[in-house]
Amino acid sequence: MIWFQRIFLLLLVSWVASSDLLENPDFESPPKNSNASSGPFVLLDQNTTLPGWTLQGTVQYVTSLELPDNGHAIQLGEDGKINQTFIAKGGDVNYILTFALIRPGQNCSTSAGLSVSGPDSNAVFSYQQNYSKVSWQSYSHNLGSWGNDEPINLVLESQAIDSDSDTNSTCWPIIDTLLIKTVGVTLVQDSGNLLINGGFESGPGFLPNSTDGVLIDAVPSLIQSALRQWSVIGTVRYIDSKHFHVPEGKAAIEIMSHTAPSGIQTATKDTSEGSRYNLTFTLGDANDACIGHFVVGVQAGSAAQNFTLDSNGTGSGEKFGLVFEADKDAVQISFTSYSVTMTKEDVLCGPVIDEVIVHHLGGTASVKPTWLLLIIALLYVAVL
Ligand SMILES: *[C@@H]1O[C@H](CO)[C@@H](O)[C@H](O)[C@H]1NC(C)=O
Ligand SMILES: *[C@@H]1O[C@H](CO)[C@@H](O)[C@H](O)[C@H]1NC(C)=O
Ligand SMILES: *[C@@H]1O[C@H](CO)[C@@H](O)[C@H](O)[C@H]1NC(C)=O
Ligand SMILES: *[C@@H]1O[C@H](CO)[C@@H](O)[C@H](O)[C@H]1NC(C)=O
Ligand SMILES: *[C@@H]1O[C@H](CO)[C@@H](O)[C@H](O)[C@H]1NC(C)=O
Ligand SMILES: *[C@@H]1O[C@H](CO)[C@@H](O)[C@H](O)[C@H]1NC(C)=O
Ligand SMILES: *[C@@H]1O[C@H](CO)[C@@H](O)[C@H](O)[C@H]1NC(C)=O
Ligand SMILES: *[C@@H]1O[C@H](CO)[C@@H](O)[C@H](O)[C@H]1NC(C)=O
Ligand SMILES: *[C@@H]1O[C@H](CO)[C@@H](O)[C@H](O)[C@H]1NC(C)=O
Ligand SMILES: *[C@@H]1O[C@H](CO)[C@@H](O)[C@H](O)[C@H]1NC(C)=O
Ligand SMILES: [Ca+2]
C-alpha cells in the first residue's frame, strides 16, 4: 500500500512549465485597430483589442530593445488593468506565475506598484533598484491550486498611488513575458530527509532569456509561497544552475539582505519529541562576483547558531551541520542572512543555501534509494 502511495506521489510531482496556458503571454501579438508601431509607447484606446487580454483604464503598448524578448510589453498607467482567464488542467496542481517587470523611466519621482491577483491570491510588486544587472527583473507569485477545468482569472493592475503626486513623473509598471508553471500540490519527500523541498528543486519557472534568476518577495505562508514549502522573509533570489553556481541539482536560494535581514523558513514533518536530529546544509556563493563575509543564522527549534563563509564570489560551497532535539512534531527551521553584500555593479547579492537535510541521529530509518522508486513508477506507468 505504502508503495502505491509513493508512486502516486511521484506521478503527482511531475510538472511541466506550461507556456501554453496563456494566450499572448509575451504581448508579441500586436493590438488590433491600433497603430502600435508608431512609437515606443502607444496608448490603447477603447476601440483596441489585444489578443488574449481584456483591457481597462490607461494601457500602453511598449516597443523597446530593453525587454526580455527584445520586442513588446505593456505599461499599466492610471487605473490600468489587463486580465485573462485560463482553464486549469489536470488534477490538483499549483499554478506558479513568473513575469518580467521592466525598469521604468529615469524621470520618475514616484513608482507605482503592480498588483497581481488570482481568484484567491494577491500580491503587489515593484521594480527594485539594485536587484539585477539588466534593466528588467523576474518576479514570481503562487496563484493557487485548482482542479480540472476550473476557469482562473488572472488580473494585473497598476496600484493606485497618492492622488496629489504628479502623475506625469510617475513610473507606471511595465510588464512582459508571463510564464505559468504547474507543480503537483503534494510534493514527494526525498528519502532520508525529513524536510520537503530541502534542495529547492520545486519553485518558480525561469523566463527563457533570464540570466538573473527569479526574485521571490516576502511571503509568510508555506502554502502560498512560490518556493514550495518555504516561507520567505525579505527578498530572496531563486537561482538556476545554467547561470549560477548551484551546489546540488538545478536550483538553489541566494539570500539578499538589504535594510533588514532576509531569509527562508520551513518546518519538519514527522520529527518526534525528544529525539535528536542533524540539520545539514550547504552554504556557498553563486559565482556572481559576490565578495564578502557571509553570516547566516540557522535555527532549528531551540538550537541556533551563526555560520560564516568568506566568499570570493567565484562559486564555492561548504557543508555544515546543526544538531537539535525536537520539542514537538513540527520543528521550525530557518536561515537568515545578516550580511549586506553587493557586487561591483551595485547589485545586491548574498549567501547561497542548498541541500538542506534533516535526519534522525542514531537510527537508520528506512532509507530507500530514489532510483528504485522511479523504476517502479515507470513500471506502474507501463502497466497503465
Ligand atoms: C501608423 O503610423 C505611421 C507612422 O507614424 C503612419 O505612416 C501610418 O499612416 C499610420 N497608420 C495608421 C493606420 O494610422
Ligand atoms: C471608437 O470607434 C467609434 C466608431 O468607429 C468612434 O466613434 C470612436 O470615436 C472611437 N473611439 C476612440 C477613442 O477612438
Ligand atoms: C530572447 O532574446 C532574443 C533577442 O534578445 C529574442 O530574439 C528572443 O525572442 C528571446 N526569446 C524569448 C523566448 O523571449
Ligand atoms: C476579464 O474579467 C472580466 C470580469 O471581471 C471577464 O468578464 C472577462 O471575460 C475577463 N477577460 C478575459 C480575457 O478573461
Ligand atoms: C528626463 O528629463 C530630462 C530633463 O528634464 C529630459 O531631457 C529627458 O528627455 C527625460 N527623459 C525621459 C525618458 O522622459
Ligand atoms: C543602487 O545602485 C546605484 C547605482 O546603480 C547606487 O548609486 C546606489 O547607491 C545603490 N543603492 C543602494 C541602496 O546601495
Ligand atoms: C502632464 O502632461 C500633460 C500632457 O503632456 C500636460 O497637459 C499636463 O499639464 C501635465 N501635468 C502635469 C501635472 O505636469
Ligand atoms: C548571529 O549574528 C547576528 C548578527 O550579528 C546576531 O544578532 C545574532 O544574535 C547571532 N546569533 C547567534 C545565535 O549567535
Ligand atoms: C576563491 O576561492 C576558491 C575556493 O575557496 C579558491 O580555490 C580560489 O583560489 C579563490 N580565488 C581567489 C581569486 O582568491
Ligand atoms: C552533522 O552533520 C555535519 C555535516 O555533515 C557533520 O559534520 C556532523 O558530524 C554531524 N553531526 C553528528 C552528530 O552526526
Ligand atoms: Ca538544489
What are the counts of helices (DSSP H) followed by strands (DSSP E) for the chain?
2, 26
Residues pairing with 101 in the sheet: 137, 175
pLDDT band with cut points at 50, 70 and 90 for residue 16: very low
CATH number of 189-203+255-384: 2.60.120
- CA dist 242 and 239 (Å) reads 9
Asked if pLDDT for residue 364 goes beyond 80, the answer is no
CB 260: neighbour CB atoms within 10 A? 10
* CA 309 – CA 292 distance, rounded (Å): 8
The C-alpha cell that represents 378 in the structure block: 515507470
| Residue range 2-183, CATH number | 2.60.120.260
How many CB atoms within 10 Å of residue 20?
A: 11
CA nearest 48: which of 63, 35, 62, 29?
Answer: 35
pLDDT at 13: 41
pTM given for the model: 0.86
> Ligand 7 within 6 A of 166 CB?
yes
Cell 513508477 locates to 377
pLDDT of amino acid 215: 97
Question: DSSP assignment, residue 356?
Answer: E
Question: What residue ranges of the chain are covered by domains with CATH 2.60.120.260?
Answer: 2-183
Cβ atoms of 333 and 279 closer than 8 Å: yes
Q: CB 88: neighbour CB atoms within 10 A?
A: 20
Using DSSP's 3-state secondary structure scheme, residue 317 falls into strand
DSSP conformation letters of 169-209? GEE--EEEEEEEEEEESSPPPPTT-SSTTTT--SSPPPPTT
Distance 94 CA to ligand 4 centre (A): 21
Evaluate: CB of 153 within 6 angstroms of ligand 4. yes
Query: Which-ligand-closest: CA of 314?
Result: 9
> Does the C-beta of 33 come closer than 6 Å to ligand 1?
no
Model confidence at 354, pLDDT cuts 50, 70, 90, reads very high
How does pLDDT run across 117-175, given as a tens digit for each residue?
Answer: 999 899 999 998 899 988 899 999 999 999 888 999 999 999 976 656 566 667 899 99
28 lines ligand 3 (CB under 6 A): no
